[in-house]
Amino acid sequence: MSRRRGAIGLGLVVLGALIPYIGLHLPWVLPSTVNVVNSTGTLTVLALCFIFAGVALGYDVIFGYTGLLSLGPVMYFATGVYVFDITLTHWNWPLVPALLATFATSLVLAVVLGAIALRVSGIAFTMVTLAFAQAFYYLIEDNPHGLTGGDTGLALYSSRLPAFMSGAVSNTRNLYWIALGFLVVSYAVVWLVTESATGHVLVAIRENERRLEVLGVHPFRYKLAAYTLSSLVATGGGVAYILLIGTAVPSAVASVTVTLSILIMVVLGGAGTRWGAVTGAIVYVYLQQYLLKVAAEPSFASLPAFLRVPLSQPQFLLGAIFVLFVIFVPGGVAGVVVRRRLRVAAERFDAASATPSNTVQEEP
Amino acid sequence: MNVFLALTFSGIALGAVYFLAASGLSLIYGLMDILNFAHGLFMTLGAYVAWDVASHLPASWGAPLLFVIALVASILGGALAAGLTEVIIIRPLYGRPIGQILVTIGLDLAVVGLLLGGFGSNSLSVPVPLWLIEASHVGGLSLPNSDFVALVAGVIVLVSLELFLRQTRYGITIRAGVENRDMVSALGINVGRAFTLVFVIGGAMAGLAGLLYAVVFSGDLISPTQGDSLLIFAFIVVVIGGLGSIRGSAVAALIVGLVQDYANFYLGSHPGMAEIGNLSVVLLLALVLEWRPRGLFGSTL
């Protein structure tokens, strides 16, 4: 079973890596205006899907596995975007020191702020992480010393960046592979951690933290580790994002809306499962871009206002889908699949045990 | 000294608005364990209902009357939105606390998206009487009249909320429910009705807060996302004050309002520190949590 799933995963990654070579014309399904699979627009959207899938995976470690509703992931995503952008663009650092500085900043922020936020639990933790993320957003908007560019944003421009990584249209294919690579690495890291002994402690924290304390385990360290891991993954996503998109704008990379999108992705796909988070993120980003494309169609403008206004707002549609999912499909897509698998297994078990149990009853 | 007194006054007025926004949130959390993300939406909807009502009535009625009607409309709008939310989307999820938080997040996104689609992201202007924009002179100080309105509204709501919670049967049920919900329902009291009631009360205060915030602090302008930014400060006030405590919310709202106001004036004029007021409030939150994780008036967490 596990080997089969591994093979499917590997097949999907290979397929993903080959997509830039597929020049297929696919009308209706693609999210960009050019209906060709390896067009720049489609590759960019797919790369965005992969980036957010990786970030959602990292977030699933703290939310799905550990059961802590953090509203802070955007802060670490924005750290990846801005520290990388600032060190390259303003300070003209070479690539490797810039990367190291980005992840070091994220690590320090995550350990310090995580330790403060984890002093409280439950709802208060959620509120505190939200407040920190919002403070970070204000800081970026403030444009301290002209570093972040404030509302106008900061374009990534550096002669030190290797040529194949620069934002030129001809390089979209390379950036797409970087995004896919980021997703594969985050999947591997999250897989290793969640299947390890530490991962089991995280699930135990979610299920019954008090019991764990009685057993002599200090949950705080594990919670902080989970928080830090998911933060570092989000930072990686931020780096891939700024390479791909080329401009950092606070409303797109640092506002609370980004956190909520990541949360929605994980919940839609199924919290606490790896492929659920990945599926949720890919479907979410794809749908968001696709809905924008539909709303921009000329024929769309002829719809009556009561249809056109709601349908032109991806935020409305995705929010509404999310509410329906939470009420009617708890556990997300993964929950549906797992429940079906359990039912099939139960039926098989019943069928298998039907004959022996009959004989037992007939014996006396 | 005069500057300091004037600052203190406007900080208190800001605190009054924060109190209106936060107390309902605190009450809902205390009784139902729900972190209500849709509270920001109730604030926004209150302001939009007020704008809609006021702009459909004849201007000949005069600005003061229209403003009073707008105030009432914001209260009713917020209360109605909150009541419907509780009955339609919160109720099916009793027993699933994370699910309840998530639906309020989804609802907030969806309806704010709808408002953005319907009204655009540009701000709309609420009609207010001229008197509200002017300032009164009290003992050598020039104080904006809108601040007085916010302050009076905050005090009226605080006093009536305390009276309601301590003197009426429903209020006592709510307080008992905050203390121990299982015990209250074991005594045969319908806690479900109390849930709807706290949502309606919280929504009413949120709606009023939404309109007052627009009138007092953003030049009579309302926008679809204003409630969401106000909500963050309401969260901070609730955590500092202690979850579930009305008095805690009142004290914390005043502290947060004052800190933000002082920091903005004394530090915000330096280059690159325009957001220092907002940042200082978050710093205050971190300090309070270090010193007293359950908040100023919180009993347990």
State mean pLDDT over B237-244: 88
A247-248 and B221-222 beta bridge pairing: unpaired
With a pLDDT cut of 70, the percent of chain A lying above it is 96
B286 vs A314: CB contact, 8 Å cut-off? Answer: no
A127 vs B238: CB contact, 8 Å cut-off? Answer: yes
Could you report the per-residue pLDDT of A195-252, keeping only the tens digit for each? 999 999 999 999 888 888 888 888 999 999 999 999 999 999 999 999 999 999 998 9
| CATH class label, A2-298 | mainly alpha
Lookup: tokens for A247: 């401009």
Please choose, from the candidates A248, A285, A238, A287, the residue with its C-alpha nearest in 3D space to the C-alpha of residue A74: A238
Q: Which residues pair with B222 in a beta bridge?
A: B124
pLDDT band at A358 (very low <50, low <70, confident <90, very high): very low
pLDDT at A50: 96
pLDDT score of A32 more than 80: no
Q: Tokens 């929605």 correspond to what residue?
A: A264
A319 vs B98: CB contact, 8 Å cut-off? Answer: no
pLDDT at A129: 92
pLDDT at A362: 42
Q: In chain B, how many domains are there?
A: 1
pLDDT band at B299 (very low <50, low <70, confident <90, very high): low
Q: What are phi and psi of A161, to 5 degrees?
A: -75, 130
Q: What is the mean pLDDT of chain A?
A: 87
pLDDT at B300: 47
Return the exposure string of A247-264: e unless at least 16 CB atoms fall within 10 Å of the residue's CB, then b.
bbbbeebbbbbbbbbbbb
Q: Is residue B258 part of a domain?
A: yes
Q: Which of A70, A112, A123, A143 has the most B C-beta neighbours within 10 Å, making it the best mutation to test the interface with B?
A: A123
pLDDT at A355: 57
pLDDT score of B301 more than 50: no
Amino acid at B205: M
B40/A82 Cα distance (integer angstroms): 29
Determine contact, residues B193/B174, Cβ cutoff 8 Å. no
A247-248 and B141-144 beta bridge pairing: unpaired
Return the exposure string of B180-192: e unless at least 16 CB atoms fall within 10 Å of the residue's CB, then b.
ebeebeeeebebe
Most confident of B19-23, B115-119, B217-221: B19-23
Among chain A residues, CA nearest to B113: A316
DSSP assigned state of A303: S
Q: Which long-range contacts (CB under 8 A, 24 or more apart) does B154-160 make?
A: B154/B15, B154/B16, B154/B17, B154/B19, B154/B20, B155/B16, B157/B19, B157/B20, B157/B23, B157/B205, B157/B208, B158/B19, B158/B23, B158/B246, B158/B250
Greater pLDDT, B104 or B30:
B104
Among chain A residues, CA nearest to B116: A313
A127: which chain B residues are within 8 Å (Cβ-Cβ)? 35, 235-236, 238-239
Lookup: tokens for A354: 């039907």
Give the total residue count for chain B: 301
State mean pLDDT over B252-260: 95
What torsion, rounded to 10 degrees, do the Cα atoms A294, A296, A298, A301 define? Answer: 90
Work out the minimum CA distance from B136 to partner chain A, whole angstroms: 33
State mean pLDDT over B17-38: 89
pLDDT band at B279 (very low <50, low <70, confident <90, very high): confident
State mean pLDDT over B235-253: 90
Cβ burial, residue A39 (10 Å; 0-12/13-18/19+): middle
With a pLDDT cut of 70, the percent of chain B lying above it is 98
Residue-range definition of the domain harbouring residue B266: 2-291
Cβ burial, residue B166 (10 Å; 0-12/13-18/19+): exposed
With a pLDDT cut of 90, the percent of chain B lying above it is 41
B242: which chain A residues are within 8 Å (Cβ-Cβ)? none
Q: CA angle B244-B237-B159, nearest 5°? A: 65
Greater pLDDT, B16 or B144:
B16
Residue B220, CA distances (Å) to A118, B47, B133, B211, B216 in order:
39, 10, 9, 8, 7
B274/B270 Cα distance (integer angstroms): 7
Q: Label each residue of chain B as H, E or C.
A: CHHHHHHHHHHHHHHHHHHHHHHHHHHHHHHHCCCCCCHHHHHHHHHHHHHHHHHHCCHHHCHHHHHHHHHHHHHHHHHHHHHHHHHHHHHHHCCCHHHHHHHHHHHHHHHHHHHHHHHCCCCEECCCCHHHHCEEEECCEEEEHHHHHHHHHHHHHHHHHHHHHHHCHHHHHHHHHHHCHHHHHHCCCCHHHHHHHHHHHHHHHHHHHHHHHHHHHCCCEECCCHHHHHHHHHHHHHHHHCCCCHHHHHHHHHHHHHHHHHHHHHCCCCCCCCCHHHHHHHHHHHHHHHHCCCCCCCCCC
pLDDT score of A31 more than 90: no
Query: What is the domain-level CATH number for residue B282?
Result: 1.10.3470
Q: What are phi and psi of A6, to 5 degrees?
A: -60, -40
Could you report the per-residue pLDDT of A94-117, keeping only the tens digit for each? 999 999 999 999 999 999 999 999
A120 vs B118: CB contact, 8 Å cut-off? Answer: no
pLDDT at A359: 44
Among chain B residues, CA nearest to A263: B102
A322 vs B116: CB contact, 8 Å cut-off? Answer: no
Please check whether residue A309 touches B, CB under 8 A: yes
State mean pLDDT over A321-325: 91
Most confident of A143-152, A176-185, B131-140: A176-185
pLDDT band at A363 (very low <50, low <70, confident <90, very high): very low
Residue A354, CA distances (Å) to A288, A319, A359, A361, A362 in order:
49, 46, 9, 11, 13
pLDDT score of B196 more than 60: yes
pLDDT band at B2 (very low <50, low <70, confident <90, very high): confident
CA A95 to chain CA centroid, nearest Å: 24
Q: Is the ipTM of this complex over 0.95?
A: no
Q: What is the mean pLDDT of chain B?
A: 87
State mean pLDDT over B82-103: 89
pLDDT at A248: 93
Q: Tokens 């009955």 correspond to what residue?
A: B87
Greater pLDDT, A141 or B78:
B78
Please check whether residue A151 touches B, CB under 8 A: no
Q: What are phi and psi of B124, to 5 degrees?
A: -110, 155
Q: Is residue B185 part of a domain?
A: yes
Of B103, B118, B275, the CB nearest to A327: B103
State mean pLDDT over B23-52: 90
Greater pLDDT, A160 or A12:
A12
Q: What are phi and psi of B141, to 5 degrees?
A: -105, 145
Greater pLDDT, A80 or A334:
A80
pLDDT score of A270 more than 60: yes
List chain A domain ranges.
2-298
Most confident of A136-150, A278-292, B126-140: A278-292
Least-confidence region, from A10-19, A106-115, B58-67: B58-67
Lookup: tokens for A197: 């002994």
Which residues have C-beta within 8 Å of that of residue B92, sequence separation ≥ 6? Answer: A327
Q: Is residue B301 part of a domain?
A: no
Q: Is residue B156 part of a domain?
A: yes
Give the three-class secondary structure for A147: coil
Please check whether residue B188 touches A, CB under 8 A: no
B109 vs A260: CB contact, 8 Å cut-off? Answer: yes
